Amino acid sequence: MKKVLLLTTGGTIAARTGEQGLAPDIKCQDILQMLPELEGFFEIESRDILNLDSSNIQPEEWQYIAEIVTEMLPKYDGIIITHGTDTMAYTASALSYMLQNLCKPVVLTGAQIPIERMFTDAKRNLQTAFAAVNAGVEGVTIAFDDKIINGCRAVKVRTLGFNAFESISAPYLGEVYADGIHVYAHNMDRKRDTFCLKKELCTDVFLLKLIPGTNPEIFDRLLDMKYRGIVIEAFGAGGTHFERRNLIPKLKKLVENGISIVACSQCLYEKSDFSMYEVGRKLLECGVIPGRDMTTEAIVTKLMWALGQTEDPKEVRAIFNTDYAGEVTL
């Protein structure tokens, strides 16, 4: 019988209607009482660690969660974390970097409808999370809509649908069918060193989505604000305009001032390739780091984590040339 720790952080799954709308209110023991079918299959302990809408979960909370997971993981076969869906992909990505060489399941899940309401998806998602632990799916994952997704490949793509998350440019790690859970072992054969916590983060990271006509002076403002890292969502396979409003000199200035810039595509699927077009090659020439096929959530959190490990832009680039948790195809 697997020993599992359930950590609750709030979110829709634990929400009740208040005077100002839905807000987290349900505790972990109440959640477990609604899942009596788990008794006899798992030895479950639980702990309420936060009570927040996920819009209020920020880097400090990622560090707090990572600390608790690191402390408690040796005592359990796996840990399940309930979390609001809106920023779950950011939390999962951040934990993927902070919990280095993770060799046990750490599964995030939540719901589109509170667990006490009719038609809730909460129970099914929790059952999928427990199935992932029982199957030994290693690393940080998200369990949702009968799917198990690598935590740093997940993106929330729907606001209301039960299939809220998709795995971007990577296959699912597992799926639940009528005959049980199907685990795709070829995604779990990563070689790992000794597990360790590396929780240091730098929050001085800015995300900019380019639009046609972006004013180059925005980058002067970011320099004045002392940002250490910038993520740029560029066009298509990877490009930015340099006619009339030339962004390239400003980006080069940022790089020369020691600011790490990572660029990715605004397109959700497939990789960016800045070597294909002139508009992309100019980005590479001024020192921008290519984001390849990483999700925006994975890039933002990886840049925060990289800048927490080092102040050397060359080392930041080396970190982005390393695959830590299946977040990038090299």
Measured CA distances, 40 to 2, 3, 32, 44, 106 (Å): 10, 11, 13, 10, 21
Count Cβ atoms within 10 A of the Cβ of residue 101 and give its class: 0-12 exposed, 13-18 middle, 19 or more buried: middle
Is 12 a known active-site residue?
A: yes
Instruction: Establish whether 293 is an annotated binding residue.
Output: no
Which is the catalytic residue, given 9, 12, 91, 295? 12
Q: Pairing mode, if any, of strands 2-10 and 78-82?
A: parallel
Which is the catalytic residue, given 8, 9, 82, 85? 85
Measured CA distances, 46 to 31, 43, 133 (Å): 10, 10, 15
Helices 88-98 and 296-309 pack at an angle, to 10 degrees, of 40
Nearest to 51 by CA among 106, 4, 14: 14
Instruction: Establish whether 54 is an annotated binding residue.
Output: yes
Count Cβ atoms within 10 A of the Cβ of residue 178 and give its class: 0-12 exposed, 13-18 middle, 19 or more buried: exposed
Is 82 a known active-site residue?
A: no
Instruction: Establish whether 312 is an annotated binding residue.
Output: no
Active site positions, annotated: 12, 85
Q: Which residues are annotated as a binding site for substrate?
A: 54, 85-86
Which residues define the annotated binding site? 54, 85-86
